[in-house]
Structure 1
Amino acid sequence: MQNQKNRFDPRKTAVEAAIARAKARKLEQQQANAEPEEQV
């Protein structure tokens, strides 16, 4: 995944960061739903 034209593309970096954040949030929600909710 190396880009010779742009070694550092801030827009692409931001997009990848947003995707990673969304994946992490989805994972957290799945884990929270899987665990029994005892904390109220």
Structure 2
Amino acid sequence: MLTFAIENPTALEDTLLTVGSIAACLAAVIVGLIAYRNRR
């Protein structure tokens, strides 16, 4: 998990890291919207 901080990440690792970050943000937004709808 900490190897990318020591050596330069490859294009594939950089892409996966970016996609993972976007997916995590989208998941958080979707969960937030569902929780907001269920609260009302």
Provide TM-score, normalisation by structure 2.
0.67
- Higher helix share goes to which structure? 2
Unpaired segments ≥5 residues, structure 1 = none
| Equivalences, count | 34
Unpaired segments ≥5 residues, structure 2 = none
Which structure's CA Rg is the greater one? 1
Give the aligned CA root-mean-square deviation in angstroms: 1.7
Show the counterpart of 1:24: 25
